[in-house]
Structure 1
């Protein structure tokens, strides 16, 4: 059971995230100051730094938790799992969590995507996050199927899946009208990408 102190911290963190995204939308990312975000959330600037180190950290506030959840899915491989099947389960669970109304509204999800696409500093951060995440997921996938995948196989499978999902969601940003549509776009892209990954499930032993 979450205690009163922890619930208060969660509310403050969420208030900072919502205030930041609102101000980024109204004023622009570069033009918004940390002091303005803190004031909009009714806390001090010092309190802001208790939760986030920078404005970029607010935009990517859930990156670490999403990655931890994804790695946990791969680590939970069951005896009958195939490579493609496990990766599709990873996509399903990741998209369900990322598009849950409890975590983010559709408006905030679309705003965050637009911010990342339009701000050079956020683009650079997104690329670094993507690169680091894919390396860790590739390692976890290889560890889940050491008898079937080489590190190269695992990296290629993760890269194909992640690239397809992200590219499809960004390409359809103006067409989607709900979190469910974002989920459906991401899952369809994963299915297309994983059709090639299924060839790895036919391999008896990893290639050299």
Structure 2
């Protein structure tokens, strides 16, 4: 980041790193303009600049790494522009750390946003994950205009999990205005859930230990 000439990213994420980008050239756009941002980054890189494309969490988990690679392939620049993907901490693991250890066993990460994935597909994935008793991490669970998906996800989970299944809710994980709630499937909708929230629904062995949630791995005590 500090060695880059140009910083490219969603405006909200750029604002979070103002203290380390200093006087660098910044290219930022609003939400839903991901392709435009990546094209601008590639244009700058092709011109010889060192470019850092900023994603929240991990760039390879619902981030910009995949789109950058796709665009480079489609324009024939995949072999001429070097790419380095720096791993980060995605909200699944950041939220899990705040809650305790809910991801100690098999888990599935599912985004409830249907902007890029048909809801029918999302619903099938929810059904399969709940039926297989995965711990389920829900990204993009709700927004001001989209609040019914989290209700439907809970309904699907309740078909295969008990109402007392532990649920962890973390808003703004690892940021200054972080909020953490531990509840269960029966009461999870009583808590604030929005696009900045990650919801973790346990499996049949997940339980509370004091102020934490843990999904036992099965190690002998």
Please identify which structure carries the higher strand content.
2
**Higher normalized contact order (CA 8 Å, seq sep 6+, divided by chain length):** 1
Same topology, TM > 0.5: no
Larger helix share, 1 or 2: 1
Name the TM-score, length of structure 2 as normaliser.
0.29
Q: What TM-score does the superposition give when structure 1 sets the normalisation length?
A: 0.30
